[in-house]
Amino acid sequence: MKKALITLNILVLLLAGCHRASIEEQCAEMVRKEWRRMPRNITQGVVLDSLHYDRRTNTLVYYHTINDTLYTAEAIRHGKQQLREQLLIDISNSVALKRLKEEGLSFRYVYLALSDGKECLTMQFQNDEL
């Protein structure tokens, strides 16, 4: 009887240790950790302001402020494809995002103008692109 109780306790401990955080839990934890490091300069004239997990669309959204005196509408239009390609490479190669990508997470990058807060650029990466 004592052996059976010990075996049962070990089995319960093993099963409890197998719990994997849900995608929502994992994203919430990631947002909490990253929040402490924001705002954060990404490059000259671009600041990562916040990060948000959208449960409805299963999307991680990065909000940036962009200095629109440095990055004019023309400059953004001209560099948009290159930025998209680089972000796709960065997301695809990210070890930190591996499990989230396996769980079907998508990513969106929103760039807001520093001068008036209006949206300058949005890039969406669906999971099947990664």
Can you tell me the distance from the alpha carbon of 112 to that of 65, in angstroms, rounded to the nearest whole number?
5
Q: Does the residue 35 lie in any domain? A: yes
CA distance 126 to 130: 7
- Residue ranges in the chain modelled with pLDDT below 70: 1-20
Would 14 be classed as within a structural domain?
A: no
Q: How far apart are CA 105 and CA 25, in angstroms?
A: 13
Domain presence at residue 11: no
Q: Global pTM?
A: 0.81
Q: Is residue 4 part of a domain?
A: no
CATH number of domain containing 49: 3.30.300.250
The domain total for the chain is 1
Whether 2 is in a domain gets the answer no
**Is position 91 within any domain?**
yes
In a domain, 61, yes or no: yes
Torsion, Cα 77 41 30 81, to 10 degrees, reads 20
Phi-psi domain of 53 (left: phi exceeds 0; alpha: psi -120 through 50; beta: other): beta
What residues make up the domain containing 83? 21-129
91-113 per-position pLDDT tens digit: 999 998 998 999 899 999 999 99
